[in-house]
Amino acid sequence: MARSALLNVMVQAAMKAGRSLSRDFGEVQNLQVSMKGPGDYVSQADRKAEEIVFAELSKARPGYAFLMEERGAVEGEDAQHRWIVDPLDGTTNFLHGIPLFSVSIALERQGQIVAGVIYNPAMDELYTAERGGGAFMNDRRLRVAGRSKLIDSVIGCGVPHLGRGQHGNFLIELRNVMAEVSGVRRMGSAALDLAYVAAGRMDGFWETGLSSWDIAAGILLVREAGGYVSDMDGGQGMLDSGEVVAGNELIQRALLKTVKKPLAAR
């Protein structure tokens, strides 16, 4: 596939950060880890990857603003463009030696996500998308799965953990979904969950309590692979609400209806 110069910049930054993460992943037992909150860890590897991405993107496109997990918001001279970056999505997986983690980079232009990259260095899987240009994994074009019924579907989710999320609400959602689908999976990286929906590996995905850097690139991947994404109200405020429901047209609609169903209706 032919990539634009802009997407090449993003790929280069993601892969360089990914190589750094791979080296640290190989010595995961020796990482020094600080606790940012209950069950929410920040490692030296995470900070180093973010520095790499920040340096690469700043050099290639000086003036663009940033929104990053660790660094937060960084104002830029160019008010039309903003990088949204998660240098290590799936930190807990990373620290436990589970090879499901990623670097996620999205570019927002005038409020719209126009390019996205998600890279899992442990599996050397590079997911890319540009608005109107399709979605790809290692240069192979992606399409969402074609299943039309929840009963045939495998659905991904995020699970609230200690100190985060609405546990009671999630248990209602999970009970509703479990009763309707072939299987439920919890991967531990929302960016990869959305990439897997784009690749047809999972038929749908839902999660709440996310940050914009967790999902910005993945939202574009799903859309460019022919899928649909909304928040829990069926709107397009995912980056603000931290809610996401994704799948092909039929599965996304059915999944949204199911997760919003009150338990009493069961």
Contact 147, 180 (CB under 8 A): no
Annotated binding-site residue? 193: no
What sign does the CA torsion over 72, 75, 80, 81 have?
Answer: negative
Annotated binding-site residue? 78: no
Q: How many helices (H) and strands (E) does the chain have?
A: 8, 15
d(CA 50, CA 71): 8
| Coil, helix or strand at residue 229 | strand
Contact 119, 88 (CB under 8 A): no
Q: What phi-psi label fits residue 128: left (phi over 0), alpha (psi between -120 and 50 degrees) or beta? A: beta
Residue 132 half-sphere exposure toward CB, CA atoms < 13 A: 3
What DSSP designation does 138 have?
Answer: T
d(CA 80, CA 197): 29
Annotated binding-site residue? 231: no
The contacts of residue 159 (CB under 8 Å, 6+ apart) are 165, 170, 186
| Coil, helix or strand at residue 13 | helix
Annotated binding-site residue? 69: yes
The token duo for 82 is 């903003």
**Token pair 């460019």: residue:** 224
Annotated binding-site residue? 86: yes
Binding-site annotation: residue ranges for Mg(2+) = 69, 86, 88-89, 214
Binding-site annotation: residue ranges = 69, 86, 88-89, 214
